[in-house]
Structure 1
Amino acid sequence: MNKDQIYADPLGHIQDFRFDSTVVDVFPDMIQRSVPGYQTIIQTIGKLTARYQQPDSRYYDLGCSLGAATLSMRRNIRASGCEVIGVDNSEAMVARCQSHLQAFRSDVPARAELGDIRQVQMDNAAMVVSNFTLQFLPPEDRDLLVQRIYQALKPGGIFVLSEKIVEADTTTHDLLIDLHHDFKRANGYSELEISQKRTALENVMRPDSKSQHQARLEAAGFSHISVWFQCFNFCSLVAIKQGAAA
């Protein structure tokens, strides 16, 4: 696993963050050292897959990156007639994800597609995952995507949404940011790396609050919604479409 040193040296001009080949090469290290609870989220996606799987269904990983959630779903599907589809708009990510899928043998078909998750055709879904992806979309596009996810899910289907969040209260918001920065320091990131990474992300990542996510899910039609995980300013929600599984 290559070490993330993208922002280790002073940069005269900090470009907006992109999921290019440079990021792909260090992404496993970056995500482990930057996102608290990431492995717990990936492992739990597998457990949720086992619990909510339905035969003859599709499982979507929107913003699949290297395919951690894609693989977690695939490993836990025992129902017949299923397929897993990862979608990402980074060519470098999709290529690496596809190689990971090919390296793990399974009877469950799985593929990674290059595309815009706002335009991907989804249907007959038992499960949809969006892991730290919605926050990179323009805010005005988020409601429609969640509505499309709801419509694509079968009755009893599940949506897992993991996101970085903001707090409406400035005191607790600042506290969670400080705790997250402490987490990154403990994992070996310098003050320079933390500062430069934050600058690179500020124009491309615009997080919502938990209440915004919950309101969006309710507006789409989900009636069973819960924040099942939170560590600092990172959380994961589960939303279940009403109705018995087929």
Structure 2
Amino acid sequence: MTPFRPDSISNAMNDASYRDAIFSTPLDRVASFSFDEQVVACFPDMIRRSVPGYGQILGMLGVIAARHLRHGAHVYDLGCSLGAVGLALAGRLSPEAFTLTGVDLSPAMVERARTTFAQECPHHAIEVVEGDIRHFNYRASGMIVLNFTLQFLAPSDRDAVIEKLYEALEPGGVLVLSEKIVAADEEENAWLVERYHDFKRANGYSELEISQKRTALENVLIPDTLEAHHARLARAGFPRSQTWFQYLNFASLIAFKN
């Protein structure tokens, strides 16, 4: 058996993908953003050029799992898209160390993720199911990852989801929550947004692409403040949470269950 290497994450994610050019031409009407086949085809390029720190977050998930996950425990990746979290854990942990269930609402994402896992880490017990994380029947788990997923749910649904995940976690389990955030201070937030647009320009996006993507995400991706995230985690029952990573207006938190 050829060992699965951590550097296979980027290779696996980029196989058969295309450059993100969805918003590169003027559109008479910009439709609301959705994770359809067009997005799936260019998703690795899109997320690489659009989400500051995404690779660093993925790289640490295996480290976090190695430190906090009970041997043989179950892991959820909610809003798993193409399976990057599963690949990150498989690159760090043996097949006996964990089982993982990826959940995504997009049939195109689910199909592509299943193919990737079958090709890249067939000896790991990883499954991908199509489902709505708001209504999913969760099993007991040692680690749950929400990588840029909660932000796409209606704000009124978020508390209930986090409460369900708290109940699903085993004692000693951890929840990793990565999100685009908004700063409470208007001046600080404006600076973060401007620098984020600079980040996208530096990665080759045009003014038209930035503008049309922003329009497409309006009322689809609704960010919270870091304070709101920590308060929600506390309301759900987590005794402790902390922000372990932030790059501009993107952050990752970890919450611990006693």
Say whether residues 1:197 and 2:224 are aligned partners: no
Residue in structure 1 matched with residue 29 of structure 2 by the alignment? 13
Residue in structure 2 matched with residue 215 of structure 1 by the alignment? 231
Letter in 2 for 1:138: A
CA contact (8 A) 1:164 1:235 kept: yes
| 2:245 equivalent among 229, 232, 235 | 229
Say whether residues 1:69 and 2:85 are aligned partners: yes
Letter in 1 for 2:35: F
Say whether residues 1:134 and 2:145 are aligned partners: no
Letter in 1 for 2:18: N
| 2:181 equivalent among 165, 168, 180 | 165
Describe the superposition over 1:158-197 as per-residue Cα deviations: whole angstroms up to 9, x where unpaired.
Answer: 1000000011111001000000000000000000000000
Residue in structure 2 matched with residue 180 of structure 1 by the alignment? 196
TM-score normalised by the chain length of structure 1: 0.95
Letter in 2 for 1:57: A
Deviation, structure 1 residue 81: 7.0
Residue in structure 2 matched with residue 93 of structure 1 by the alignment? 109
C-alpha separation in 1, matches of 2:123 and 2:20: 34
Identity %: 48
Residue in structure 1 matched with residue 53 of structure 2 by the alignment? 37
User: What is the SS of the residue equivalent to 1:166?
Assistant: coil
Deviation, structure 1 residue 130: 0.2
C-alpha separation in 2, matches of 1:152 and 1:74: 22
Residue in structure 1 matched with residue 38 of structure 2 by the alignment? 22
Letter in 1 for 2:89: M
Deviation, structure 1 residue 106: 4.7
Deviation, structure 1 residue 122: 1.4
Runs of 4+ in 1 over 2 A off after TM superposition: 73-82, 105-108
Letter in 1 for 2:244: W
The total of aligned residue pairs comes to 242
CA contact (8 A) 1:77 1:108 kept: no
Structural RMSD (CA):
1.2
Residue in structure 2 matched with residue 118 of structure 1 by the alignment? 134
User: What is the SS of the residue equivalent to 1:72?
Assistant: helix
For structure 2, list consecutive stretches of 5 or more residues without a partner in the other structure. 1-16
TM-score normalised by the chain length of structure 2: 0.91
CA contact (8 A) 2:95 2:124 kept: no
Deviation, structure 1 residue 70: 1.9
Describe the superposition over 1:21-51 as per-residue Cα deviations: whole angstroms up to 9, x where unpaired.
Answer: 0000000000000000000000111111111
C-alpha separation in 1, matches of 2:95 and 2:40: 32
Say whether residues 1:3 and 2:28 are aligned partners: no
Deviation, structure 1 residue 79: 7.7
For structure 1, list consecutive stretches of 5 or more residues without a partner in the other structure. none
Letter in 1 for 2:246: Q
Describe the superposition over 1:109-150 as per-residue Cα deviations: whole angstroms up to 9, x where unpaired.
Answer: 001100001111212201000000000001111001101111
C-alpha separation in 2, matches of 1:65 and 1:94: 7
C-alpha separation in 2, matches of 1:79 and 1:8: 42
C-alpha separation in 2, matches of 1:20 and 1:108: 27
C-alpha separation in 2, matches of 1:166 and 1:235: 10
CA contact (8 A) 1:3 1:29 kept: yes
CA contact (8 A) 2:87 2:121 kept: no
Do the aligned partners of residues 241 and 79 (structure 1) sit closer, same or farther apart at CA in structure 2, a change above 3 Å counting? farther
